[in-house]
Amino acid sequence: MPSGDDNGALRNLKLNESTFLASLMPKNEIAADRFVEAHPHYDGRGVVIAIFDSGVDPAAAGLKETPEGKPKILDVIDCTGSGDIDTSTIVKADDNGCILGTSGNPLVVNPSWKNPSGEWHVGSKLVYELFTSTLKGRLKKERKKRWDEKNQEAIAEAVKQLDEFEMRHTKVEDINLKKEREDLQSRVDLLRKQADSYDDKGPIIDAVVWHDGEVWRAALDTQNLEDNLGCGKLADFVPLTNYRIERKYGLFSKLDACTCVLNVYSNGNILSIVTDSSPHGTHVAGITSAYHPKEPLLNGVAPGAQLISCKIGDSRLGSMETGTGLVRALIAAVEHKCDLINMSYGEATMLPDYGRFVDLVNEVVNKHRLIFISSAGNNGPALSTVGAPGGTTSSIIGVGAYVSPAMAAGAHNLVEPPPEGLEYTWSSRGPTADGDLGVSISAAGGAVAPVPTWTLQRRMFMNGTSMSSPCACGGVALLLSAMKAEGIPVSPYSVREALENTCIPVGSSPEDKLSAGQGLMQVDKAYDYIQKSRDIPSVRYQLKINQSGKTTPTSRGIYLREADSCHRSTEWTVKVEPKFHDDASNLDQLVPFEECIKLHSTADAVVRAPEYLLLTHNGRDFNIIVDPTSLSDGLHYFEVYGLDCKSPWRGPLFRIPVTITKPQSVKSSPPVVVFQMSFVPGHIERKFVEVPIGATWVEVTMKTSGFKTARRFYIDSVQMSPLQRPIKWESVATFSSPSSKSFSFVVEGGRTMELAIAQFWSSGVGSHDTTNVDFEIAFHGISINKGEIILDGSEAPVRIDADALLSLENLVPTAVLNKVRIPYRPVDAKLSTLSEERDKLPSGKQTLALILTYKLKFEEGAEIKPHIPLLNNRIYDNKFESQFYIISDSNKRVYAMGDVYPDSAKLPKGEFTVQLYLRHENVQYLEKMKQLVIFIEKKLEEKDAVRLPFYAQPDGPVTGNSSFTSSVLIPGTKEAFYVGPPSKDKLPKGASAGSVLVGAISYGKVSFGVNNEEKNPEKNPVSYSISYIVPPVQVDEDKSKGSSSGSTKSVEEQLEEEVRDAKIRVLSNLKRNTDEELSDWKELSISLKSEYPKYTPLLAKILEALMSQNNAEDKIGHYDEIIAAANEVIESIDTDQLAKYFSLKSDPDDEDAEKMKKKMDTTRDQLTEALYQKGLALAEIESLKGEKVADTEDAKAATDSSVQQDLFEENFKEVQKWVDVKSSRYGTLYVIRERRKGRLGTALKVLVDMIQEDGQPPKKKFYDLKLSLLEQIGWTHLVQYEKQWMNVLFPPSLPLF
C-alpha cells in the first residue's frame, strides 16, 4: 500500500484479499489506519459525533457497540417531525383490557404493562408515510402478489356460482331470476374491476402511549402489516421508551425488516416514530465509526466513537432537508454535548456564508466548540459549484472527494486503475461567489459501508462528497480522541489549522486547490501538529475584504472573474480579526494576544502585499494590490498567507485566496470560438470566454475522435451574476464511438462564461487512447428592451424592440400563457410557542410557530402548485428558519405537502385548505407574516393554454389586421412589434379578476435539432416571463335591467308571508343541544304547524331538523318521528298536480312561467327528500328491530294476505316515480333495497357507481355502507383493502407539522 506522502500513487497495482477489503473502507489514504495501529486507544473513544443526515439504523451491521463494549448509538432523533403522531386522544381500557384506536380498530393492551393512571394515549399513522420509496416499492410488489392470489380465489368462486346458476336455469325469463343472474354477474365484474384499479396506500398502524410511573412508553399494533393472523398485535409489541434512556428499538414486521425507534414528547401527546428516509445516513455513520470485531478491515475510520443520529431528511419530502430538521439537529447536538457534527447534505446558494442556519452554526462552533464537517457538493467539475453549507460557510470544514488507485481497483472494480490519486470528476469546486476557497480539505469519497436492514443487505457501495465528509469526520474523531486522552484542549480553530497545514497536495498546480482544498488530510501529521501546538491559543482569523474605496460588498477572498477586472490593477483592503471562543478571558487571552506575522504572496508579480503585520485582538487592516494584466487567458490561483514569525513551522495562520479567471474575448464575426483539446481519464479543460454583449444563447458542437472504446464527458457552463445562484448548464455526454453532439443553452452577455469539459475519471482508463475533442461555440443573441412583459388587462398591446448585435438572427416570437396564478390571503393566523423539549435554542431562546390557513375552491380538477415568493427556493441563504405547507380537503385527507421547493399536486374539484407553518424565535418577524400572500398556480391543460398574438401595428388587437409572424434581424437595425392580450373568450375557467395568467415568451430560433420552441417557448434555450392580469368581468346587461313585472299580491298578503317566513327562520335557528332547548323547539314547531297547516316549506324544515338530530337515546322512537314528519310533508303536496305540471313544457322566456317552474322544482325536491328520508328511517327501524325480510323465494310462495305489508317497498316505488334511484343523491335507498332482497352484488355495483358519480370530497357514509356489504359477501381481502383506503380518505386528524 502507498505511504501517505505519495498521494496514493501506485504503479502496476495488484490487490490481495486484505488490500481489497481495505479499499472498500478507505483509511490508508488519510493515514487513519496507521494512526490507529500506532495508537490503538485513540480510535475515537471518548468522542461523540452527531450525524445530520437521513437517519441511522441502530440495527445496521457495525453500529451496535464500540470496541469498549459501549453502545455505538446514544440517541436516534427525527428532527424533521415527519414521523410524529398526534397521541393527544386519551382513552380508558374496558374490563377486558380493550381500547379503541384512532384508526377505529379495537386494541387489547398487555395486562403486564404498568399504567398507574389508566390513561392510554392513542394515535395512528399510515405506515407507508414512514418508509422510503424503495421500501414501499418492494412491499407493494409483495403485497400485490398476495392480494392477487386472494382476489383470484374470489373471482373463481364468483364465476363458479354464476356457472352453477346458468346450469340450473338454462332459460331465464322470470324478472327475479334475471335480477339474481345480474347480481352474480355483478360480483364477477366487481372483482375483476377491483384488480385493475388496485392502488395500495399501505396499512395503518395504531400507536399507544402511556406513563408507567417512571417513564413514558409506547407500543405499536402492526397487525395490518402481517399476513399471519395473530402476528403484530399490540399486546405482543415490546414497549419502548425514548431511545436515549434504554437504547432499544423495534421492528415493524419481518416483511419490511424496517427498524423503528419510538420517542415520546409533550407529556405523551406526541409520539415520534423514527425511521430513516434513505440508506444514506446509515452509510455515512458507518464510514465515520462502524465497528466490526470480526472484520476489522471494514471498520469505519473511528470505530471507538459514539454517535447521535439526527434525522434532517424529511420522509414526507423524499429525503429533503428542512429548516425545522436542521435547527432541531443543532439543538440536539449541543444538548448531547457532541464533539463533532457530520452533515453530508447541501445545495447551491445565492448568498455564501449567510442565513439563519449559518448564524446558528456559528454559535454552535464558536460558543460550544463543536467541530462541523460537511460535504462540499457533487456539482463539479466547473468552478464555483460548492454547495451550502459545507462549501460556503466559514465555520464549517468543507470536504472534497478523492479517489485513490486502490479505491478504483477495489471499490470501483476497475480492471486498470488510474496511476495516481485524484479528485472525483463530479466533486464540487471553489471558489465561492465571494472568493473564499470553498473546499477546505479532501478525503476518500467512496466506501462500502453499512446500510439499513430494510435494504436486505449488510453493506453497499456509495460515492460522493457525502462519503468524503464522514471519512474526514472519522479522521478528526481520531484526533479528538487523542487530544482528550492527552489533556489537550479541543477547539475547532486549532483542529482546522492542524488539518489544513498538514495536508498533502492533490495535483501539482496551485489551481488544484480550488478542487481539493489544501489537499488530502493526514491524521498522523495533524496529530503531530496538534501536539506541537498544544500551548498556542485557539484563534480563528476572520477575513473581511473590500475593494479600496468601496464598503460593499465584503468578501472572504478576491475573485476576479469578469473581463474588466482582469485587465486592470486593483487595490484591496483586508481586515484580519482574531476571533476567540465566546468563553475566552479578556485579561488572560484577549489582552495578551499579539502576533508578529510575515505576509507572503505566492506570486509577487501579480499579488503584492506588505511584508509584516502586527496583529492584536482588535485586528488590523492592510492593503494588497492585484495586477492581472500580464497574465495569460485562463485560470490562475494565488494566495497571500501569513506566518507566525516566532513559529513559522505552524504554516499559514490565514490565507487570502486570489482567483483570477481571465477570459478570452471573441473577435470573429459572426462570433464563433473553436477549441481543440486532448483528454485522458480525469483530465479537465477549463475555457473562459467573455460572452459578447448582445449574446443570449450559445450553440455548441462537440466532435470527438481518436478512441475505440466508449468515452464519457461532463460538460458544464457557469456564469456568475450578483445576488443569484450560479447560472449553470450541465450535460453528461457519452460517445460510444467518435461522433458529434450539439447543445444549446442560455448565456448572459458581457459576463465571463466558464466552459468545463472533463473526461470522467474512470472513462477509458484501460484503453490508453487519447481522446481528441473539437469544441465549437457559436454565440447568438436577440436583445429585447423588456425582460419581463406584463399585460395589464386592458386591450392595449405591449411594444417590443428587438435587435441582433452579433449576426443575422431569425426573429420568430412565440408566447404562451399556460398557468393561472391566484393570490390568497390567510383566513386565520395562529401564533404559538413550541415545546422546550425539541425547540429551545442553544441560546436559551424559545422557537415560535405561526400557522396560516388559506381556503381554496376549484370548480373542476386541477394541477396546482403553491408559491410563497418571499420564502421559496432558499433553505440555507434565508434568514427565516422554516416553512412547511399541507393541502387537505374537508375530510382531512392530505393531497400535498412541501416546503421551500413546492411540488405540483393534482386536486379534484372541491374545497381545500392550505396550512402554512412558519418558525422563528423572533415574534416580530412572525407578526409581520400574519397577512402573508401566497399564490396558487394552476397549470392549464394544453388545450386551454392561451397563445398570444403578435402585431405590426398598435391597433392590431381591435382591427385584427397587421399580424406579425417572423422576420430576419440585421445587426445594427432595430425592429419593433407588438404582443397583444388574449381575447376574453380565450380566458380559462377559474381565471377571476385579479388573478394572473403566466407563461413564457421566446424570440429566437435554434439552428439545429427539432424546434419545439415554436409550440412551447419554454423549450427554447432563452425564454422570458410574460403575464396577463385578468380584468374585471363584463357586466351582464340583462341582469342589470332588473325585473319588469311587479307582484300581484296585496300588501297585506305580502306582509303575512314575510311574517310566516320569519317565524320559520326563527324555528330553523333555534338550538336543540339541551332538553330545554329541544322542548322549546318542539313547542314552537307544533304551534307553527297549527298556524300554517299543510305548508310544505315549514314541514320540510321540521323534517330537516329532525334528521340533524343524531344523539337521540330512543333510536326507534326518533326514526318514527322522522317517518311521521316525512308523511306530513308528503301529504301536504298534491302529487297529481305536481306530476301533471312536469308532464308539460314551460316557456323559458316567460318570466312568470320561470317563477312557477322554480317553485314546482322546489316542491318536487321537498317531496323526494321526504320520501327518501322516510325510506332510510324505515330501513333503520327494521335493522334495529332485527326483523328478517322475506327473501324472493319466500315472497313468491306466500300469499298477499299472509305477508305483512312492506312499507319500505311501497315507499321505494313512490320514490322511483320522481327521481333516478341509482343516482348518488338517492341511490342509498336502491342499495338498501337490493341488500334486503339478498342481491349484494347489484347493491355493491350501484354503490360503487354512486361513489364515482358523487365527486369530492367523498362521503364517509357511502364507504361505511360499502364496507358492510363487502363484509356481508365475505370478501375479506377487499374488506382489508377498503379499511386501508378509508384511513387515507377519512383520517382522524390532520398530520402534525
Positions annotated as catalytic residues are 53, 280, 466
* Amino acid of residue 1149: D
Nearest 5 degrees, angle CA 1026-CA 1030-CA 1033?
Answer: 160
Helix (H) / strand (E) element for 1248: namely helix 1240-1254
| CA 340 from centre of chain | 28
**633/639 Cα distance (integer angstroms):** 19
| Apex 767 CA angle, 766 and 768, nearest 5 | 100
Query: DSSP letter at 242?
Result: -
Q: Which residues of 471-488 are buried (b: 16+ CB within 10 A; e: fewer)?
A: bbbbbbbbbbbbbbeeeb
Question: d(Cα 1254, Cα 1265) in Å, to the nearest integer?
Answer: 15
For residues 960 and 797, the answer to whether their CB atoms sit within 8 Å is: no
3-state secondary structure of 462: strand
3-state secondary structure of 383: coil
- Per DSSP, 1153 falls in state H
Q: How large is the greatest C-alpha to C-alpha distance in the chain, in angstroms? A: 121
Q: At what angle do helices 323-335 and 356-368 cross, to 10 degrees?
A: 10
Angle at 586 between CA 583 and CA 588, to 5 degrees: 95
Question: Residue 1199's Cα: distance from chain center in Å?
Answer: 68
How many C-beta atoms surround the C-beta of residue 197 within 10 A? 7
Q: In the numeric block, which cell numbers belong to residue 939?
A: 397549470
**Interatomic CA distance for residues 716 and 753, integer angstroms:** 10
Q: Pick the closest to residue 207 from 91, 311, 114 (CA basis).
A: 91
CA dist., res. 732 & res. 734, Å (int): 7
574 three-class SS:
strand
- The span from the CA of 1013 to the CA of 409, in Å, is 46
Tell how far CA 469 is from the center of its chain: 24
Are β-strands 828-833 and 848-858 bridged in parallel, bridged antiparallel, or unpaired? antiparallel
Q: What whole-number distance in Å separates Cα of residue 391 and Cα of residue 398?
A: 5
Q: Name, in order, each residue with C-beta under 8 angstroms of 143's C-beta and a sequence gap of 6 or more.
A: 200
CB-based contacts of 585, cutoff 8 Å, min separation 6: none
Kindly give the pairing relationship between strand 371-375 and strand 396-403: parallel
Count Cβ atoms below 10 Å from residue 905 Cβ, excluding itself. Answer: 17
Distances (CA, A) of 1071 to 85, 1091, 1101, 1105, 1111: 36, 22, 14, 10, 14
Identify whether the C-beta of residue 448 lies closer than 8 Å to the C-beta of residue 286: no
The SS3 call for residue 263 is strand
- Say if residues 395 and 362 touch (Cβ distance below 8 Å): yes
Distances (CA, A) of 518 to 248, 429, 501: 42, 12, 7
Q: Identify the residue whose cell numbers are 317565524.
A: 1063
Among residues 715, 711, 794, the alpha carbon closest in space to that of 754 is found at 715
Cβ(716)–Cβ(756) below 8 Å: yes
Distance CA 652, CA 641 (A): 6
Is the previous residue joined to 431 through a cis bond, with omega within 30 degrees of 0?
Answer: yes
Exposure string over 132-146, b if 16+ CB within 10 A, otherwise e: beebbebbbeebeee
